[in-house]
Amino acid sequence: MSFRPSYWSETDPTKLLLNSVQGQVRRAMVAKALENPDEELPPGDYLAPRLTAEQRQGMANLHPSLMGGEYLPDMEDGEVEIARVVLDSVMCDVTSVRARRLPSGRIGYRVVDEYQDDPESAAEFPFVLPFEESDQPLTLAELVEFMSSTRKSGEEYQRGLLERHWESHYHPGWMEAEEAVAFAVAESDFYPQLGDYYERLGARKCREWIREERDNYEGKRRPAGGHFGM
C-alpha cells in the first residue's frame, strides 16, 4: 500500500496512447496489443482520445456497452488518468480519476464521469473530494482513501466511487452480494494492485452482507422471548 508511482515519467508512446484513450473497449484493444505483439492496434481514427459523434453513433448501433468511457470530458493539458471505475451497466459507464500539474508545482486532482459534459448535471451533482491537491503522487493507500472518501452529491448512497454502487445495487432476492460488488470494478495504469485491492474489499463486504442476511433470517425464525419450544 506504500507504492508511489510517477505520473509523468512514462515515455513509451503506446502506453501513453493507452492512458489517453477514453473509451473502455478501445482501451482494452490497445492493452491487448501491448501484451501481444501479434495483435493489431485499432485503426488510426479510433486511437484518438475521443471519438467523433459519428464514430460514437456507429459503435452505439452495434451495442450500447461499446459507449463506455466515450462521453468522458476531454483531458486538460498535461492531465493523466490515474484510475477509473467501470460499471457493469448497459452503457458500461466510466468514472475517471485524473491528476494534473498545477502552476504551483503541486498536483491537482479531479473526478469526472460521463455526465459531466452536461453543465446542468455537473453543477447539480458534483463530486465532493476529500482533498484536491498534493505535493507528490499518491501512494496506493492514499489513492484508496481518496476514492473511498469521494462522494457524489445528490445521491442516496454517496460515499466511495465503488462502494456507493455496491450499496445501491445490493438487494437480497434481486441482486445478491457477489453480483452487487461485481457491478463496479476499479483499474489503473499507474497502480497495478488497485483492482485486486477492491476485489478483496468487495469480498469482505460480501461476507458482511451474507452474515447480516443469516442473522436476520435466524432472528425472524426465533419466537418472541428468544426460546424455541417449551
pLDDT in tens, 5-42: 999 987 777 778 888 899 999 888 888 887 887 777 77
**Spatial distance between the Cα atoms of 128 and 219, rounded to a whole number of angstroms:** 38
pLDDT band at 4 (very low <50, low <70, confident <90, very high): very high
18 in Cβ contact with 34 (< 8 Å): yes
Beta bridge partners of 94: 86
pLDDT in tens, 185-200: 999 999 999 999 999 9
For 98, other C-beta atoms within 10 Å of its C-beta total: 20
pLDDT in tens, 144-164: 999 999 998 776 656 799 999
In the structure grid, which three cell numbers stand for residue 1, read together? Answer: 500500500
What pLDDT score was predicted for residue 44? 74
Q: What is the DSSP-derived secondary structure letter of residue 39?
A: S
Which helix (H) or strand (E) segment is 120 a member of?
Answer: helix 119-124
What is the model's pTM? 0.83
Please determine, for residue 135, whether its predicted confidence score (pLDDT) is greater than 50. Answer: yes
Judged by phi (left if over 0) then psi (alpha if -120 to 50, else beta), residue 226 lies in left
pLDDT in tens, 71-104: 999 999 999 999 999 999 988 999 999 999 999 9
The mean-pLDDT minimum among 49-58, 78-87, 116-125 falls in 116-125
From the number of C-beta atoms within 10 Å of its C-beta (0-12, 13-18, 19+), residue 42 rates as middle
